[in-house]
Structure formats: C-alpha cells, structure tokens
Amino acid sequence: MSTDAEGDDVVSSGGRVTVVGSYNAGFVIDVDEIPVPGETVLGSDFAEGPGGKGSNQAIGVARLGANASFVGCVGDDHYGDEAFDLWAREDVDVEAVERIDDVATGAGFVIVDENGENAIAVAPGANAELHADHVADAHEQIRNADVVLCQLEIGDEAVGRAVELASDAGVPTVLNPAPARELPATILESVDYLTPNVTEARLLAGHEPDADVPNETVGHELLELGVGCVVMTVGEDGALIITEDDLERIPAPVVDVVDTTGAGDAFNAGFAVALTAGLDVTAATRFGCRTGAHCVTAREVIPGLPTREDLEGIPRPDR
C-alpha cells in the first residue's frame, strides 16, 4: 500500500471495505426546474437503473480497486434480480445480502434540473427489513474489514449493530448520514468519521436545513455528540475536516457539472478506499473530492463512479 509523492492519491490498495446499507431501483426524470409542492412539470427525459446509497458506495469501492462486501436486503422481484446481476458484474461480494419474500425492492425517484441539481424521494421496501440480527450474521465481513461504511437509508438498529461490531473489532467506521435524521448517542459514539453534506450536518445537529450557522460551529456540535471526526462535504467548495483542535479546508477539482446525483456516494467510496490504503484523513478527503468530482461529470450515478483510470482525467485540487 502506498501513495504518490504528493500524498493525495491512492496508488494501490487491496484493502477491504464492508458496506452496510441499501439497494434501490432508481428512476430519474430530467426537468428544466425542480417543481415546488403542488406543481406538475413536464420532463425531457427518463431513465431507470440501479441505485441505493449502500450499493452505489460498494460499487464505487470495487471500481477503485479495493475488496467490497455489501450487507443489505432486496426483494424477491425482478429488481432484486437486476441487483445481483449488477453486483456480479462489478465484483462486489454479496454473501451477506438477503432476499426478502413478499416485499418490494427499495426504490428511489430522482428529479434532475438543467443545472444538475436534484431532488430525491426514496421508498425503503426491503431495506427496512435489514435488522440487527442480519447484520450480526455478517460479523465476519465486518470484523475482517479495514473500514466499515454505513449510510441512513437503513434503520438505526442495523446501523447501530454495524458500527458496534466494527468498533469492538477495532475496525474504523465511516457513517454517511444520508438521509439525515436524529441518531442515538450510542451510534454516534462508535463513528470514527462522519461525512455529512452541509444540509445533513445541520439536520443532524438539530438545526433547520438552511440555518444560518457557520459550518465550523455545526461541525463542533456534531463532535460534541460523540463522533471522532467530521468530514463535511460543501459541494463545489470541496470539504471541511473538523476535529476538536483543527479545521482544514480541502478544495474540490474544477469540472463541468452534468448531474450531482451520487456525488456523495462517490466521495464516500473514495474516502473509504483511501483509508484502507493507510492515508491520513487529509489525503483521504482529497481523494474523495476527486472521486466525487468525477461523478458529477456523468449523467446518473453508476456511470459516474470512477475507476482508477477515470481519475487520471480529474485534476488534483490546488492546495
């Protein structure tokens, strides 16, 4: 495992990331402007494909050269079949994925405007059936990982068991708190790296999503809830690394934005893979910013998740 001379890229990994999270069938409509409540707008295009933050991040990990294991649930329907076909193509270990009878596979509905901004609604479906016992059954995948990565499209019970098992085994944990919600202190106290965007950070800290509170203040409020380090993504401005003693700003590469959907998933995959390669939080965040930047240059999430070769076209951000 090594890094390049500048310390912001991963040359080789081979590490193991276990992702505990969701799979959703994705449905995307392109519009000129995202509608307000009660408004109907005509879209210009429609696409259907795989999604779910957990699955997206597991695929992102695998494409970057690490060993990806996914823990989750899908329905016993054709969307579940498509999920297993996808994971087989992407070389994601799915030994710990369970199919649930008489429950639909989760679904996500995305509206993307002409500027690449989006609005998303998710129906959990089988993801709601991922319980603590199922996560406990995946204890080998969790204990043998170099990093355990979770999101919040699954229930508190599953997230809590995953970070608890990882923490007990000395495995670093990354929690991407999306979609944001209030979490028990017992979960946050087992999180080494919390990776919210600015809206999620405010919601998790108990503010309104557009509250006029400095990002640094919000980050310290999250640290007070028990997490080890906050890595807050701030869109085109990159990311902030907030610890008890320091604040570091990591700029994002400048790219042409096509679709911001999935940028957070790409960031978290890159961040986790970099940690498995032994990079510190600064270098891991730089790498995550590059993987996130690649994602926004493509329409839809899966095409935007980069391989190592894809990243050769993404500039390193200025320091």
Residue with tokens 């016993």: 76
293 to 62, 186, 264, 306: CA distances (angstroms): 18, 33, 10, 10
Dihedral (Cα; 311, 312, 317, 319), 10-degree rounding: 120
> Could you give the CA distance from residue 196 to residue 233 in angstroms, rounded to a whole number?
6
> DSSP per residue over 43-63, as a string?
-SEEEEEEE-HHHHHHHHHHH
Catalytic position from the list 265, 280, 310, 318: 265
> Could you give the CA distance from residue 290 to residue 311 in angstroms, rounded to a whole number?
7
> Could you give the CA distance from residue 24 to residue 72 in angstroms, rounded to a whole number?
11
Query: Is 76 one of the catalytic residues?
Result: no
> Could you give the CA distance from residue 110 to residue 120 in angstroms, rounded to a whole number?
5
Under DSSP, the state recorded for 243 is -
C-alpha atoms less than 13 angstroms from C-alpha of 56 in its C-beta half-sphere? 30
Q: Which residues are catalytic?
A: 265
